[in-house]
Amino acid sequence: MTDSPEIAEARSEVERRRSRLMGTAHELQARLSPGTLAKGAWQGAKEKGADLAEDAVDAVRARPYAATGVVAAITMFLAREPLMDLAGRLVDGAKGKSKKQRKSPQKKKTETAE
């Protein structure tokens, strides 16, 4: 049983299209693999990070005093507990020294009076 030329041509067309479809399916499978998706996401994140860093550098160059103030405020906020402890110790130390200084001259006066 021989096929007519139209049927043979249709079969070859079907085979060509099937082959093309399988190639497309393999390409999609490669594009949608977890490794490829992760690599693409990582590359995108690196590009966004580089753009953000470049914008930040430009902003700091445009307003260095404002940037310094912001950094100082953030630093003080993050270090607020140690700074408050230090301030408390300094105040306590200053109070202690002033009390000692006041007591010392009085003792000498009483000692010399006797």
How far apart, in whole angstroms, are the C-alpha atoms of residue 11 and residue 69? 76
Confidence at residue 100, expressed as pLDDT on a 0 to 100 scale: 61
List average pLDDT for each run of 10 residues in the chain, which is 114 residues long.
85 95 94 92 96 95 95 95 91 74 55 52
Determine phi and psi for 22, rounding to 5 degrees: -65, -40
Tokens standing for 36? 């490829």
| Predicted local distance difference test score (pLDDT) of residue 1 | 58
Collapsed DSSP state (helix, strand, coil) of residue 20: helix
CB-facing half-sphere around the CA of 85: CA atoms within 13 A: 4
Output the six-digit token pair for 97. 């020294």
pLDDT of residue 11: 93
Query: What's the token pair of residue 20?
Result: 């093309």
Q: Where are the domains of the chain?
A: 5-113
Residue 13: what residue type?
E
